[in-house]
Amino acid sequence: MTVRPTHTLFPHTPVPALPREGMIGVIAPAGPAALDTDKAIAWMRARGYALRIFPGVYEQDGYLAGSDDVRLNDLHAAFADCEVDAIICLRGGYGTPRLLDRIDFELLQNNAKPFIGYSDITALHLAISRYAGFVTFHGPLLNADLLGDKQKPTEASFFNMLRGQVKAGSVLTHPVAYPLTTIEPGIAHGRLLGGNLAMIAATMGTPYEMDAEGVILFIEDINEPLYRIDRLLTQLRLAGTLGKLRGVLVGDVAGVDTVALGRLLKQTFEPLRIPVLSGWRSGHCDPNLTLPMGALVRLDAGSKELVLEQDVVVKA
């Protein structure tokens, strides 16, 4: 089965590629974490990059990395800084939804650049997709992933995507050590969007919820037992979101039995007759592969392939 477009999907705008010897900005728009600054600088320097660490990275306000004002100012400053070539988030946790109604999306759109993170950062991916329209990247966090000694595909996927080595027509590489599972076969073309399932559901009913029309939904999560995954998917079904999708790519759902998860996915998506592929190593897992949010892709669930159908970065 092939799910064909029902309307024209315009590609999200690609962002400038991360140049060699570029500058990577670090912000903490969600939760706090202790950063080993010397280790971070040395790690990036060894790979040819400089770091610019914004003030909120060193702050803590309870479960937040600094006040809302501090975290919002860092987000705006990192995008506005013409010397910063890409922005990576320190960690997830919680906090990004508190910023959404205060973000200057015109500033972000006028200074588009690679923006990377996952987990709570999903709220920013969804909002940028909806109100700024450029590609962002569901990819590693600085502390937990790049400095956390995760497997080599984490780093390779991150840099290959941002440097422009993965081009339109490329089959996205997935490590053979982690087999994928076809839940529902078929081929779908659409815009890849999503992230953390709980955060996708949390934005429903707000101006920042995902525009699901024509989307290939990517989902991942952690610390959610199976019945709560069921509840989150049921919420999206009852809201009409799942009925608009062209396909589904399921990432890591940490802590949930894969056989039981497969049954739930089958029950949820079989009636929709759309392709569903499960087991993609992106999210709270090792390795954690980078995915381009907002990009046009082709999902072939039967052949277990995800193909990029547009360039997501452009070289100067």
- Would you name the residues annotated as active-site residues? 119, 220, 284
Give the separation between CA 190 and CA 10, rounded to whole angstroms: 10
Q: Which of 286, 291, 198, 209 is CA-nearest to residue 249?
A: 291
Cβ contacts of residue 132 below 8 Å, gap of 6+? 105, 106, 108, 109, 112
CA distances (Å), origin 202, targets 120, 122, 195, 244, 311: 11, 10, 12, 18, 30
Distances (CA, A) of 261 to 27, 107, 111: 34, 41, 40
Separation of alpha carbons 266 and 303, rounded Å = 18
Going by C-beta distance under 8 Å and a sequence separation of 6 or more, which residues neighbour residue 79? 87, 107, 108, 111, 112, 113
115: β partners:
87
Residues 6+ apart with CB under 8 A from 33: 65, 90, 91, 93, 143
Q: What are phi and psi of 161, to 5 degrees?
A: -70, -45
| Neighbour count for residue 9 (Cβ, 10 Å) | 16
> Hey, what's the torsion of the CAs at 90, 96, 100, 103, to 10 degrees?
-20
Q: What are phi and psi of 225, to 5 degrees?
A: -65, 165
Tokens of 4: 């064909």
The count of other CB atoms within 10 Å of the CB of residue 49 is 19
